């Protein structure tokens, strides 16, 4: 395996389907990715691209039914966590995989004190008594930069601002020193100046604690500043994957290329007119037999309608380790592969 390091999380061919009255919705289609120790993987995509559902399905947080994980394996260390019992999975969640959700307003329980909620995973997973858990919780709150932590342990979530609540969420997620932290749009609900605070905090915690992070976002700007590697999702599949600088410098998939052009920047040249991606994101009905981006793609040709492209590596590294793209069109030659 390149780089020598064994991935802490290895997802292979994950497929998640929602069974609805109107038929199956194929939300995640054979998604594969891995996470190396200490790495920050950015996952980018629009709403409905399957980025959240992918992460929710791998730790069993989707309501089943209607959701159903049809195929794939999720290796955390050597264990396939899709195959273990719900009881065993509960020991994984919060203990080995921490989760930070998008909305800090709704993901904390309003009737319990913040201290209570930070202590909960410690009591559940770490065999601590209340006194130890309290001391550790105060430590965690200080770690994430909540001033006057001992006193604030007794406060309720509504007494915290949005940014502070997200810090509490991060403290909870970090409580048991997880190997993997999954952050699902952790800054989307926050203002830019608060977002900058949280991003600095996560960067800082990463160097201190050295865990691997999956950071889901639709904001390419955030990704550019924080990620080591980026995975772009569209229509429930991974369309491109590359180290962050490579992706921004040398995007290959027509969707990634268009997406990078549609977002204006606060610095640099101001475009007279924004580039647009015409049309709408796909509705994920039947299992895909064509490229999901075909209706909006400027380079599409016959093959794109007949065959859903597989990810292909661009360099010598195998898929998932260097730069890979799922497209029948070759951006380097400007013609079919």
Partner 1 sequence: MLDAKPAKPLVTVKDLKMYFPIHTGLFRRHTGDVKAVDGLSFTIFEGETLGLVGESGCGKSTVGRALLRLYELTSGSVTIDGDDIATLSSEELRLKRPAMQMVFQDPQASLNPRMTVAAIIGEPLDEHTDWNAEKKLARVYELMDAVGLNRAFANRYPHAFSGGQRQRIGIARALALNPKFIVCDEPIAALDVSIQAQVVNLLEDLQEKMGLTYLFISHDLSMVRHIADRVAVMYLGRIAELSPREPLYADPLHPYAKALLSAVPDPDPETEGKRQRIILQGDVPSPSNPPKGCNFCTRCPEVIPICREVKPELAEVRPGRFVACHLVTPDNQKAAPGSTGGPEATEHNQQGEPKK
Contact residues: partner 1, CB under 8 A: 46-47, 161, 163-164, 191-197, 199-200, 218-225, 244-245, 248-249, 258-260, 262-268, 270-271, 273-278, 280-281
Residue number with CB closer to partner 1 (194 or 287): 194
Give one word for 55, left, alpha or beta, with left for phi > 0 and alpha for psi -120 to 50.
Answer: alpha
CB of 143 to partner 1, least distance (A): 17
Of 264, 336, 260, 253, the C-alpha closest to 301 is 336
Residue number with CB closer to partner 1 (129 or 278): 278
Residue number with CB closer to partner 1 (85 or 269): 269
Q: Rounded CA gap, 180 and 330, in Å?
A: 34
CB of 48 to partner 1, least distance (A): 8
Residue number with CB closer to partner 1 (139 or 200): 200
Residue number with CB closer to partner 1 (195 or 308): 195
Tokens 């001391």, residue?
135
Alpha helix positions (H), 210-295: 220-226, 244-249, 254-262
CB of 39 to partner 1, least distance (A): 15
3-state helix, strand, coil in the chain (%, to 5): 30, 25, 45
Tokens 């209706």, residue?
295
Q: Counting beta carbons within 10 angstroms of the beta carbon of residue 309, is it exposed (0 to 12), middle (13 to 18) or buried (19 or more)?
A: buried
The DSSP secondary structure of 137-175, one letter per residue, reads HHHHHHHTT-TTHHHHTTS-GGGS-HHHHHHHHHHHHHT
Residue number with CB closer to partner 1 (88 or 262): 262
CB of 248 to partner 1, least distance (A): 5
Q: Rounded CA gap, 21 and 283, in Å?
A: 15
């Amino acid at each position: 395996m390149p780089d020598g390091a064994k991935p802490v999380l290895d997802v292979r061919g994950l497929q998640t389907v929602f069974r609805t009255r109107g038929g199956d919705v194929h939300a995640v289609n054979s998604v594969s990715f891995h996470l190396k120790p200490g790495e920050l993987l950015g996952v980018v995509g629009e709403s409905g691209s399957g980025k959240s559902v992918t992460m929710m399905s791998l730790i069993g947080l989707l309501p089943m039914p209607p959701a159903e994980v049809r195929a794939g394996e999720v290796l955390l260390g050597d264990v396939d966590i899709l195959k273990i019992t719900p009881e065993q999975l509960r020991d994984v969640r919060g203990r080995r995989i921490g989760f930070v959700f998008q909305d800090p307003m709704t993901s904390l329980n309003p009737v319990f004190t913040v201290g209570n909620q930070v202590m909960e995973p410690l009591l559940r997973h770490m065999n601590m008594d209340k006194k130890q858990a309290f001391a550790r919780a105060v430590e965690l709150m200080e770690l994430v930069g909540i001033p006057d932590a001992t006193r604030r342990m007794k406060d309720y979530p509504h007494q915290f601002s949005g940014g502070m609540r997200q810090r509490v969420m991060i403290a909870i997620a970090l409580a048991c020193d997880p190997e993997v932290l999954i952050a699902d749009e952790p800054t989307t609900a926050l203002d830019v100046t608060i977002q900058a605070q949280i991003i600095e905090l996560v960067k800082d915690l990463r160097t201190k604690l050295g865990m691997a992070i999956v950071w889901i976002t639709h904001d390419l700007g955030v990704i550019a500043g924080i990620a080591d590697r980026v995975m772009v999702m569209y229509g429930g599949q991974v369309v491109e994957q590359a180290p962050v600088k490579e992706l921004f410098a040398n995007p290959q998939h027509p969707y990634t290329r268009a997406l990078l052009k549609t977002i204006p920047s606060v610095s640099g040249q101001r475009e007279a007119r924004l580039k647009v991606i015409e049309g709408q994101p796909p509705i994920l009905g039947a299992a895909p037999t064509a490229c999901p981006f075909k209706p909006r793609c400027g380079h599409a040709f016959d093959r794109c309608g007949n065959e859903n492209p597989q990810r292909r590596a661009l360099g010598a590294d195998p898929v998932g380790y260097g730069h890979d793209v799922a497209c029948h069109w070759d951006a380097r030659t400007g013609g079919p592969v």
